[in-house]
Amino acid sequence: QVQLVESGGGSVRAGGSLRLSCTFSGDTHRRNLMGWFRQAPGKEREGVAAISTGSSTTMYSDSVKGRFAISLDNAKPTVYLQMNSLKPEDTAIYYCAAALIRGPWGQRVLRDAEYRYWGQGTQVTVSS
């Protein structure tokens, strides 16, 4: 059974930083892609970052590029999301997800339909 557990959410002022963690337990062969998504009240879930567990190739949404960084420690195995220069519009519940994909990358790695396993979410609140 695969389980994802997020931690590290909280409240911060605009311009501040937070680091989210997501620990994966279960059969690691069931995933070769890890992603972070977020959902703000009244909005659709949005993919913000993804990383290949094999090559560590990353992809970011335009809304967080240059401010957020996704990284992976395969030994733990844990995926991180370092969030810098936070803005009030970054306020959302952040979810970690895992997928086993075949074929080429591209924008598909930021689509939630590609992911099978999900964590419970962690709240991030950024005040102005």
Q: What is the mean pLDDT of residues 5-34?
A: 94
For residue 103, pLDDT beyond 90:
no
Given a cut of 90, is residue 106 above it in pLDDT? no
Classify the C-alpha dihedral 75-78-79-81 as positive or negative. Answer: negative
Query: Cβ(109)–Cβ(17) under 8 Å?
Result: no
| Section 85-100 average pLDDT | 97
Q: Could you tell me the two tokens for 113?
A: 């339909």
- For residues 45-58, give the mean pLDDT: 95
Least confident segment among 23-37, 40-54, 82-96: 23-37
Annotate 36-51 with DSSP letters as a single string.
EEEE-TTS--EEEEEE
pLDDT (mean) for 23-46: 93
Q: What tokens does 65 get?
A: 């590029």
Contact 95, 115 (CB under 8 A): no
Q: Beta-carbon neighbour count of residue 62 at 10 Å?
A: 7
Where does the pLDDT of residue 27 fall: very low under 50, low under 70, confident under 90, or very high at 90 and above?
confident
pLDDT at 76: 87
Asked whether the predicted pLDDT for residue 1 surpasses 90, the reply is no
Predicted confidence band at 94 (pLDDT cuts at 50, 70, 90)? very high
Residue 104 has pLDDT above 90, yes or no: no
